Structure 1
Amino acid sequence: MRISTAQYYETTAANYQSNYSKAIATSNEASSLTRINTAADDPIGAGRLLSLGQQSAALNQYGTNIDSTKSALSLQETTLTSIGNALQRAKELALAASNGTATDADRKAYASEMGQIQQQVMGLMNSKDSAGNYLFSGSKTDTAPYLQNSDGTFTYNGDQTSINLGIGDGMTVATNTTGWDAFQQAINTSRTQTTMTAPAVDDGRVVLSNGTIGTSSTYNAKFAGGQPYTVNFLSSTQLQITDALGNDVTAEASQNGVISNANGANQTVSFRGVDLKLNINLKSTDTNPDAVIAGHSFQLAATPDSFNASRSPGNTSTAVITGSSVTNQAAYTNAFPSGGAVLKFTSATAFDLYAAPITADSRPVSSGTVSGGNATAAGVTFALGGGAPASGDQFLIQNNDHQTQNVLDTLGHMVTALNTPIDGNPVAKQNFLGAMESGLGNIDSAVNQIGSAVTSIGARGQSLDNQSATNESLTQANATSQSSIRDSDPAEVMTRLTLQQTMLQAAQLAFSKISQLGLFNKI
């Protein structure tokens, strides 16, 4: 086989250039100790590095989410704890006002402080974070969760939406606590009422409180099905309770309806989960207690649903809804939207009732015309005032079934009771004590609900800590994997570089020797 001189030179130069390029690459690798700088260096390894880099970026984002969520939850927990402390002070005031030595002046002072606590609690419920977002409005972070209505009650204006952030692969956690969960679901222990039906004019001898829910399970299972109940006093030592069908259910009352006729005694009658405070107030002229007490009668029932109606800002008329009440229980139960409704007028007299909010697909659940100044829809009669409605007028209707009660309303009721004079009036005092008992029960319920929210925050915090530890382990494993693929072994690189440099030197020497060989050297 013959090899021309030109061919030899070309082949040798090409091999030398290739080896020289490898030596330069190895030299760069020795300087940076990075094995893969471009995908061409190791296509498979570069692909794995890309995947690991994406995982690393996700883990970094998870870490940022965990830190921001911890900060948000910490602020929420601190705020809820402050609310709990304020409510504890409210309980102390209620108990102090209920003792036998407090005067009207004392109670008025307590009412003033109770009102300040109400405003403090409202301010805390409407707290914002450092970015100006409301803590307890759900996803409506630019809307104050609580506003006071014209009737003095308070309405929750947030929603029930949790804002979730990813903290790990396939794992999210709620960063917020909604006011609905923390405050609105507090069980209302005062959702029954008594109404005296006989005598026609209250003589003050028998005072029966509205009652508080003592045992929720018994109340839910038995009370509602038999209401309204009639409580008849047969004598000064015996009462009788009959249900809506006239069945005698006295056996389910404490002590089978036996009561004490001790004058002014504050005694408790328990019936189907409801605790009623009873006072017998005999007069000095009452020589026959049984005769004067017998014939007193009360109706006992769950507090009927109430309604809060507000005008739409776009209404062109001056019409307002002055009152609302259920006038057809069956229609109300079957048709009235549980999440609120919108009463929309199509003329001065015609109207439709929709489930709130109205959308393009909304259909009315009830329609009608105004009669006698009233609009009746879905079993509810709305009294109109302030002039005739105009076509397009809308009123937002929110119903309240009194199963729950936010603590702002509870504090408002207690302030009203504290400001009511009772000195020298035993009947008024007994009513006041009943109001304080109801308020204390609802404050306890609110504190329990807040405690549940704090517990939820704690559980989420524990999840964040656990996932943070997991993410840290994954981050370390990721870094190790990337290093094993990307980084070079210094000893191996230096050995390879030395070998390549030696090979280049040998190639140069061999080329120099061989290039001097030829036939003319033999002549």
Structure 2
Amino acid sequence: MRISTSQIFQNGIDVIQRQQAEISRTQNQLGTGRRILSPSDDPSGSVQALQFESRIDQTKQFQRNGGLAEQRLRLTEVTLASVGDGLQRIRELSVKANNATETDETRRYIAGEMQQVLNSLVDLGNTRDANGEYLFAGYKSQTQPFVMKDGEVKYQGDDNARQVDISPVRKLAVGDPGNAVFGDAGLPGALKDGNGTFTTLPGDENEGSGVIGGGSVVDRKAWQEAVDAASGELSYSVTFADDGETFTVQAFENGTPVNTAPFDELPVDAPFKSGESIAFNGISFDIKGTPKVDDEFTIRPSKPQSLFTGVQNIIDALQSPVGTSTAPVNNAINRGLSELDSALGHVLDTRATVGARLNALENQDNLNRDQILQLETTISEIRDLDYAEAISRFNLQQVGLQAAQQSYTQVARLTLFDYIR
């Protein structure tokens, strides 16, 4: 077959260009550190690398979510700590006011300080995060959750807790609705009046010096059986007779007396001794002082009540003139102290849940970091360059290019004119 001079030249140029292209590709690999420069280099490996990169981006987004959640939860924890400090101060002032040496004037001074603490508690309930969103408004993060109207704190948020994704299968609450933390939501574990189980109340017409304590549950099963046995709203009355020397306990369902089991064995005309425990249907409390005939005290199951209302009730009692007997204000303070203890415990429980969520965030962040490291290692094995092999290949390609260039120059000088004399 005939091979023309132009064909020889073209073949030589083609070989040189191929060698240059291979060297250029190897140079790009060495410069980028990647074996796969385009999907055509390794279609299967390219698809795998893209999938892993997507997983890494998703996991990093979960980490960013966790970082924002951590900031919000830490602010929540600090805020709740301040709420606890405020409630503790109100408790100290209540104990101070519950003293026979205090006068109407000094009690008003104490109430004034309590009012300032209450205002600060409302401000804490309206705390905002770095984005200007309210911590305790639920989903209504742009709505101020607590406002003071006519001497009463109203909640304007909702019952929902905001959540963020911290993994493909896990969500975490980054806040608590304000009515669950501070208020009367009626949600499981929400704050209630009295001691959280039942409330003790003095009668409005009482004339004696009897002061009822907050009481406690001594047999929760017996108490619950009594509540379940009532066909309506349960309450008890403790009524005094015989110059306050005896008392009778009567159970009521929706205001109607009931004497069926387990209410048929309540104390009747029982002797009264100041400070001595009175117990029935799983509960116990005491009454101190000297009640008069027909003085009455009421015991009923606790109802949802915000801590703001509990504090305001104490303030209102301290601002009212006492008159000849301090029993009304003492009763109000005793009830308030029980509610403050419940509120402090409730706030501590909420802080504990916030701490648990912070621990969960930390654990999930460590898992996400490990997952990212594993994915990046796998991508490196698929896509990254073996430098030793690439450098050897680059040197070999250089030798091939040099040989092609030298052979081309030798062949280019071969013409018939060199042999004509």
TM-score (norm 1): 0.68
- Bigger share in helix: 2
Q: How far off its partner does 1:489 sit?
A: 2.5
Match of 1:479 in 2: 376
Q: Match of 2:62, as an amino acid?
A: Y
* 1:416 partnered with 2:316: yes
TM superposition shift of 1:87: 0.5
Aligned residue for 2:258, secondary structure, equals coil
Alignment correspondent of 1:383: none
**2-side partners of 1:277 and 1:462: how far apart?**
43
- Check the 8 A contact 2:200/2:215 in 1, yes or no: no
* Alpha-carbon distance in 2 for matches of 1:229, 1:91: 28
Mark the CA change 1:59 to 1:231 in structure 2 (over 3 Å): closer, same or farther.
closer
Q: Does 1:95 align with 2:74?
A: no
Corresponding position of 1:334:
none
Q: Aligned-pair distance for 1:160?
A: 1.9
1:245 to 237, 241, 258: 258
1:490 maps to 387
* 1:435–1:38 CA distance, 2 compared to 1 (3 A): same
1:520–1:504: structure 2 CA closer, same or farther, 3 Å change rule?
A: same
CA distance, structure 1, for counterparts of residue 402 and residue 202 of structure 2: 112
Contact 1:91 1:443 in 2 (8 A): yes
| Partner secondary structure for residue 24 of structure 2 | helix
1:434 equivalent to 2:331? Answer: yes
Distance 1:507 1:94, change over 3 A: same
Contact 2:206-2:296 within 8 A present in 1 as well: no
Note if contact 2:138-2:159 (Cα within 8 Å) is conserved in structure 1. yes
What is the 5 A alignment of 1:396-411? 403-411=303-311
Contact 1:251 1:257 in 2 (8 A): no
**Residues 491 and 228 (structure 1 numbering): CA distance in 2 closer, same or farther, change over 3 Å?**
closer
Aligned partners of 2:412, 2:112: CA distance in 1, in Å?
A: 111
1:195 to 1:113, Cα distance in 2 relative to 1, 3 A:
closer
For residue 233 of structure 1, report the CA deviation from its aligned partner: 4.1
Q: CA deviation at 1:252?
A: 5.0
Which stretch of the first structure deviates more once superposed, 53-62 or 87-96?
Answer: 53-62
Partner residue, 2:281: 272
> SS at the partner of 2:389?
helix
Residue pairs, 1:116-155, within 5 angstroms: 116-150=116-150, 152-155=151-154
Q: Does 1:59 align with 2:59?
A: yes
Contact 2:238 2:298 in 1 (8 A): yes
Please state if 1:259 is matched with 2:271. yes
Equivalent residue for 1:351? none
Distance 2:158 2:94 in 1: 32
Deviations 1:203-226 (A, max 9, x none): 724747496564666544314744
Q: Which runs of 5+ in 1 are unaligned?
A: 283-291, 304-401
Q: Give the match's secondary structure for 2:312.
A: helix
Cα drift, residue 43 of structure 1: 2.1
Q: C-alpha distance in 1, partners of 2:264/2:349?
A: 37
1:188 is the counterpart of 2:189: no
Matched residue, 1:160: 159
Alignment map for 1:35-434 (pairs within 5 Å):
35-150=35-150, 152-184=151-183, 185-189=190-194, 192=199, 204-205=207-208, 207=210, 209=212, 214=217, 218-223=222-227, 225-226=229-230, 227-229=234-236, 231-233=238-240, 235=242, 236-243=244-251, 244-247=257-260, 249=263, 251-252=265-266, 258-260=270-272, 265-279=274-288, 281=290, 293=293, 296=294, 298=296, 300=298, 302=300, 403-422=303-322, 425-426=324-325, 429-434=326-331
- d(CA) in 2 for partners of 1:203 and 1:47? 84
Moved more, 185-194 or 39-48: 185-194
Kindly indicate whether the alpha-carbon contact (under 8 Å) linking 2:239 and 2:248 is maintained by their aligned counterparts in 1. yes
Alpha-carbon shift at residue 34 of structure 1 (Å): 2.8
Cα 1:77–1:483, aligned 2, differ >3 Å: closer, same or farther? same
The 1-side partners of 2:58 and 2:347 are apart by 34
- Assess if the C-alpha contact under 8 Å between 2:23 and 2:397 holds in 1: yes
Matched residue type, 2:160:
T
Correspondence for 1:16: 16
TM-score, with normalisation over the residues of structure 2?
0.83
Could you list the per-position Cα deviations for residues 290-317 of structure 1 after superposition, in whole angstroms to 9, with x for gaps in the alignment? xx84xx37484638xxxxxxxxxxxxxx
Structure 1 CA distance for aligned equivalents of residues 66 and 24 of structure 2: 46
Partner of 2:186: none
Residue pair 2:213, 2:287 contacting (<8 A) in 1 also: no
Q: CA deviation at 1:23?
A: 1.5
Match of 1:358 in 2: none
In structure 2, relative to structure 1, the CA distance for the partners of 1:76 and 1:162 (3 Å cut) is: same
SS in 2 for 1:144: coil
Determine whether 1:466 maps to 2:363: yes
Distance (Å, rounded) in 2 between the aligned partners of 1:420 and 1:273: 34
Q: Which has the higher contact order (CA 8 A, sep 6+)?
A: 2
Which residue does 2:350 correspond to in 1? 453
Shift of 1:95: 0.9
Cα distance in 1 between the residues matched to 2:345 and 2:102 = 29
Distance in structure 2 (CA, Å) of the matches to 1:203 and 1:10 = 120
RMSD of equivalent CA atoms = 3.3
CA contact (8 A) 1:134 1:144 kept: yes
* CA–CA separation in structure 1 for the residues paired with 2:389 and 2:356: 51
Structure 2 stretches lacking a partner, 5+ long:
184-189, 252-256
Whether the 8 Å contact between 1:189 and 1:213 is mirrored in structure 2 is: no
CA distance, structure 2, for counterparts of residue 175 and residue 484 of structure 1: 38
